[in-house]
Every structure is written in structure tokens, then in C-alpha cells.
Amino acid sequence: MRHADVEKFCLSLPGATLSVQWGEERVYKIGGKMFAMMGPKSDKPHHLYFKAGETSFHILTHLRHIIPAPYLARAHWVYLERLDALGTVELKAYLERAHALAAMGLSKKMLAALGFPEPQNA
């Protein structure tokens, strides 16, 4: 995926917002909680950080060009040294999961305000 494609995809996720922090890092959030970060378009090669589940973190960090994210690894964030470290379908799936993991930390009230449906009791 290209830089613009990653940004477009992240912002297409429900309730996702973009803020530019720490210089020019593009930080994607839901309800104020980060789920992914990407460097500026001028950085080459483009890099990407995102939140992963514990198992995914261990799997991903054994792949080429993917390492534990500096300062965020304890929270199971990974760092893609280049955007082509994963295929498009895989990367989108991991970004959707990162978005969902961040959303799980939000209150029911916040989720409702962001337009998420009320969970159904089984």
C-alpha cells in the first residue's frame, strides 16, 4: 500500500480521526485512543506503527522489516520499517484489528457517540 492509501483506509474506519503530533507523525485515533501512526509522506521509506494483539505481536515481530515499536512494544505495538512489509489485505486486516483493540478501551457512551451499535447480549 502507498502512504495515501494507508491514510485513506485508516480514516475510513468508524470514528477514526487524524492528528499530527510529535513533529510530523500522523496519528490515527478513535475516541482519543491511538490505534496507528505513520510518518510524514516525505520520509522514505514510509513507516507505520500499529497496535496488535499479543499473539499477533509475536507473529509479526518475527517477520522481515517488522520490529517491536520503540517505546510502545510493552503495549504490543509493532513498527513496519516499510509499508510493503505486509500485503494489502493483511495490512488492512491488522489495521482494522488495531482500530477494534483501541475501541475496546472506550466507554459504551463514547462508542454510542461515535455511532457504534450497542453490543447484543447472547
State the pLDDT at residue 61: 95
Q: Is the pTM of this model over 0.75?
A: yes
Beta strand 33-38 with 48-51: parallel, antiparallel or unpaired?
Answer: antiparallel
Q: How far is CA 30 from CA 11, 19, 52, 58, 64, in A?
A: 10, 11, 15, 24, 29
Domain 3-113, second-level architecture: Alpha-Beta Complex (3.90)
State the pLDDT at residue 119: 55
d(CA 13, CA 32): 14
- In this structure, which amino acid lies at residue 57? F
State the pLDDT at residue 122: 41
State the pLDDT at residue 117: 64
Query: What is the full per-residue pLDDT of the chain (122 aa) written as tens digits?
Result: 898 999 999 999 989 999 998 888 899 999 999 999 998 887 778 899 999 999 999 999 999 999 999 989 999 999 999 999 999 999 999 999 999 999 988 888 888 888 776 654 44
Query: For residue 68, which of 87, 49, 82, 53 has the smallest C-alpha distance?
Result: 49
The cell for 115 is: 455511532
State the pLDDT at residue 39: 86
> Taking a C-beta distance cutoff of 8 angstroms, is the pair 51, 101 a contact?
yes
- List phi, psi (to 5°) of 113: -65, -30
